[in-house]
DNA sequence: GTAATTCCTATTAAATCGATAGGATTAATG
DNA sequence: CATTAATCCTATCGATTTAATAGGAATTAC
């Protein structure tokens, strides 16, 4: 299940991509228009800034802006930062690999084989889609 | 993230498919060979029986056996029983649909569009794979 | 009738999630 | 320079979910 954190984060990025002008976009504006609790959104924006997707300007007339072109922001990368691993089990994760406690040999594990296929297909979608695709009409 | 419940359930089904003979397969045997806590597995087997994947025999020399051919047990169906919705958000779920609180119109939601693609690709994999595929060499 | 097994319900401990609290810091503006 | 408006940061809280355990009832083979 997708966490609210990720969902809100994706919506916020989309909102900024659509509404970015000369001034940065403020949390309060996104919060109102997308029905996201403001304080919760605050922490999400912080994460997105610290991970290099957003820049920010403090103080009056401050807010957030995109650092990269929407076409260069892959959903796979955003998801990894907000949601964590894309794979459904750590033992098939490319970026967050971990051995399973219960498997003596993962190459002999039926779940492993299945989850690699799921991961590959999910990755294909998340790599093909950029913020431009999400924010485009 | 795949729950242990689902992971253990899939492993147990695979184990039964591989090792089924004249006698039903016992929880204790699966538990030992697959490193699954026995009492936890017990409740999972119960779920799988109640949802029509397994039959059981009580008492001495009792155990569990498959009700359908492995080739006719789709991973999508098992996953829905053990893990719940396959979709990452309820608003794109085929079997567990729910409207989002925060979306006035889901056809206008960027996350919705993306998650439909993820769902479709995941479903493709989970419908193509049967228990026979998992338990085959 | 005894041992071995599934069946069933309840409970618990830990982790995660969604959200909130409260102020510190920074910048624009008159 | 004071005020206002925004981000920044850390901590915390309550609810839910997850993984696992407990304890016994019911059933069957022998």
Q: Are B88 and B2 in contact (CB under 8 A)?
A: no
The Cα B115–Cα A11 span in angstroms is 13
Query: CA of A60, closest CA in chain B: separation in Å?
Result: 28
> Is A121 within 8 Å of B117 when comparing Cβ atoms?
no
pLDDT digits (tens, 9 = 90+) for B51-79: 999 999 999 999 999 999 999 999 999 99
Q: How many domains does chain A divide into?
A: 2
pLDDT digits (tens, 9 = 90+) for A3-56: 999 999 999 999 999 998 889 999 999 999 999 999 999 999 999 999 999 999
Task: Mark which of B34, B66, B98 sits at the end of a domain.
Answer: B66
Stated in angstroms, how far is B82 CA from D16 C1'? Answer: 18
Q: What is the CATH number of the domain that holds A59?
A: 1.10.10.10
Instruction: Please report the pLDDT score of residue B21 as a whole number.
Output: 87
User: Does residue A137 have a pLDDT over 90?
Assistant: no
Instruction: Please report the pLDDT score of residue A35 as a whole number.
Output: 97
Examine the domain organization and report whether A79 and A112 are in the same domain: yes
Return the exposure string of B3-33: e unless at least 16 CB atoms fall within 10 Å of the residue's CB, then b.
Answer: eeebbbbbbbbbbbbeebeeebbebeebbee
Interchain CB contact of A32 with B (< 8 Å): no
A22: containing domain: 4-66
Instruction: Please report the pLDDT score of residue B22 as a whole number.
Output: 87
CA A124 remoteness from chain centre: 15
pLDDT digits (tens, 9 = 90+) for B12-54: 999 999 998 889 999 999 999 999 999 999 999 999 999 999 9
Instruction: Please report the pLDDT score of residue B136 as a whole number.
Output: 86
3-state helix, strand, coil in chain B (%, to 5): 55, 10, 35
Tokens of B90: 């309820």
- Nearest to A69, CA basis, from A4, A136, A2: A136
> Is A1 within 8 Å of B134 when comparing Cβ atoms?
no
Examine the domain organization and report whether B86 and B123 are in the same domain: yes
Band of pLDDT at residue A131, cut at 50, 70 and 90: very high
Q: Are A100 and B8 in contact (CB under 8 A)?
A: no
Examine the domain organization and report whether B77 and B60 are in the same domain: no
Examine the domain organization and report whether A80 and A51 are in the same domain: no
Return the exposure string of A101-127: e unless at least 16 CB atoms fall within 10 Å of the residue's CB, then b.
Answer: eebeeeeebbbbbbbbbbbebbbebbe
In strand C, which positions have an atom below 7 A from any protein CB? 3-10, 17-22, 25-29
Examine the domain organization and report whether B82 and B39 are in the same domain: no
Task: Mark which of B26, B44, B66 sits at the end of a domain.
Answer: B66
Give the DSSP H/E element, type plus range, for residue A39.
helix A38-50
Task: Mark which of A66, A101, A120 sits at the end of a domain.
Answer: A66
User: Does residue A136 have a pLDDT over 90?
Assistant: no
Examine the domain organization and report whether A98 and A52 are in the same domain: no
Which residue is it, tokens 């204790």? Answer: B28
Tokens of B118: 């993820």
Q: Which residues touch strand D (CB under 7 A)?
A: A 26-28, 39, 42-43, 45-46, 49-50, 56-64; B 3-5, 8, 37, 39-40, 42-43, 57-62
User: Does residue B94 have a pLDDT over 80?
Assistant: yes
Query: Hey, of A70, A91, A117, which one would you mutate to test binding to chain B, going by the most B CBs within 10 A of its CB?
Result: A117
């Amino acid at each position: 299940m997708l966490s609210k954190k990720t969902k809100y984060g994706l919506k916020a990025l989309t909102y900024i991509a659509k509404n970015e002008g000369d001034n940065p976009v403020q949390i309060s504006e996104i919060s109102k228009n997308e029905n996201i609790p403001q304080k919760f959104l605050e922490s999400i924006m912080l994460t997105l800034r610290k991970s290099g997707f957003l820049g920010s300007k403090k103080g009056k007339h401050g807010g957030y802006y995109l650092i990269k072109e929407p076409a260069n922001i892959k959903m796979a990368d955003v998801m990894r930062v907000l949601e964590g691993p894309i794979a459904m089990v750590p033992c098939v994760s490319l970026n967050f690999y971990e051995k399973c406690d219960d498997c003596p040999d993962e190459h002999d594990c039926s779940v492993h084989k299945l989850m690699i296929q799921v991961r590959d297909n999910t990755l294909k979608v998340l790599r093909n889609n950029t913020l431009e695709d999400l924010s485009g009409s």
